[in-house]
Amino acid sequence: MFPIDLKSDTVTKPGPEMRRAMSEAEVGDDVYGEDPTTARLEKAGAELLGKEAALYVTSGTQGNLVSLLTHCGRGDGVLLGKDSHILNYEGGGLCALGGLVPLPVDDAGSLPSVSELARALPDAGNVHSVRAKLLCLENTHNRGGGHASAPHEIAERADWAHGHGLSVHLDGARLFNASVSLGVEPSEIAKNVDSVQICLSKALGAPMGSLICASGEFVARARFWRKKVGGGLRQAGIVAAAGLFALERNIARLAEDHENARLMKEILRKGGLRVLDAERPTNMVYFGTKDEAEADRLLAACRGRRVLFNKTAADTFRLVTHPDVSREQALTAANVITEEYKALK
Ligand SMILES: Cc1ncc(COP(=O)(O)O)c(C=O)c1O
């Protein structure tokens, strides 16, 4: 039963069936384009996302980086949310490795509004200005509490960007959580963007890997960038098989994680904790205490009882539900947190 690890949905471990699929995978050298399992995964991903082609990459961070490098050249500007994962949690790779200029826009836990985007867009007619080339969006939004944006909301921003000569990249690390929670096809969410990155290693349960889905021409250029950043893999089918298993078997069940997160929120709220509500929540729970001292004591007490979650600010925590935490464990964890919270008083 213990520990109950809710630090992230990245902590999932492949179960026996996924491991069997990995051990039985047909493999070849994927840098030579000879790995049939990776090819199957890429085809399945492209079809699900409604794009011509897909490229298997090692991680979400690499998927975003390779996409940005493929869209832009050195010195180009990238409009992206102030709270976005790309800006805050990917080591500044777009600057360090791409020479790109981040143009942060208020996103307040969701998508930036078109008026905020218009305000942040540099004047292309001014010789002093950075040339904006790309808009990045995120769905679901991690810092936004796992908020799921609807296809028409993505379309509105994408139309604006295309109208201003920009391309659009979607960081869809948890796009399937959005699609399940909204009851729409993944391809509907990705329809209006030029490239999308999806993670196989979050609540879909694969041990690693992401896909970049886009046009055939874009994916061909992205393949070249992937090689340059050291992401060309050889017998990738061993791990691609887990990704394929995840896409085929683990999407619909994300609804269970969403329900577990909802039930946990109810318990935490009843227990007097401050629960931050995303407008359209998925598998994340952000909650907090009165102040930092209380937060540190609560975190330590819960760790002592082997209920694990992360601190995201002085007085705020995040927990994430996933397939390795059952309904019973989710409820137990929420009850442990509220018991320990009461014991602080
Ligand atoms: C929104 C978002 N984008 C990208 C990533 C990066 O994925 P990875 O950890 O596979 O590099 C994450 C990881 O949590 C994420 O939450």
Ligand 1 atom closest to the CA of 62, numbered from 1: 11
Model pTM score: 0.97
Task: Kindly state whether residues 242 and 278 are assigned to the same domain.
Answer: no
What atom in ligand 1 is closest to the CA of residue 64? 4
Say if 23 falls within a structural domain: yes
Domain boundary among 249, 279, 295: 249
- Check whether residue 271 and residue 241 sit in a common domain: no
Statement to judge: residues 34 and 98 lie in one domain: yes
pLDDT (tens digit per residue) in 27-58: 999 999 999 999 999 999 999 999 999 999 99
- Give pLDDT < 70 ranges for the chain: 1
> According to the model, what pLDDT value does residue 68 have?
98
Type of residue numbered 117: L
Question: Residue 61 CA: which ligand 1 atom is closest?
Answer: 11
Question: Ligand 1: distance of its center to the CA of 242 in Å?
Answer: 18
Phi, psi angles (nearest 5°) of residue 134: -145, 145
pLDDT above 90 covers a percentage of the chain that reads 97
Q: Are residues 261 and 236 in the same domain?
A: no
Which of 249, 280, 311 terminates a domain? The answer is: 249
Bridge-based pairing state of the strands 316-320 and 284-288: antiparallel
Residue of 9, 57, 85 to test ligand 1 pocket, by largest number of atoms within 8 Å of CB: 85
6 within a domain of the structure (yes/no) = no
The rounded Å distance from CA 124 to ligand 1 centre is: 31
CATH number of the domain enclosing 277: 3.90.1150.10
Among residues 135, 105, 132, which one has the least CA distance to residue 120? Answer: 105
The CATH number of whichever domain residue 186 belongs to comes to: 3.40.640.10
What is the distance in angstroms between the CA of the first residue and the CA of the last residue of the chain? 28
Q: Report if residue 2 sits inside a domain.
A: no
Provide the domain limits for residue 294: 253-344
Atom of ligand 1 nearest to the CA of 174: 1
Contact 144, 83 (CB under 8 A): yes
Identify whether residues 245 and 261 lie together within a single domain: no
Residues lining ligand 1, CB < 6 A?
59-61, 64, 85, 138, 142, 171, 173, 199, 201, 210
Instruction: Count up the domains in the chain and report the number.
Output: 2
260 assigned to some structural domain: yes
Residue among 64, 83, 89 whose CB has most ligand 1 atoms within 8 A, to mutate:
89
Integer Cα distance of 274 and 288 in angstroms: 5
The predicted pLDDT at position 1 comes to 57
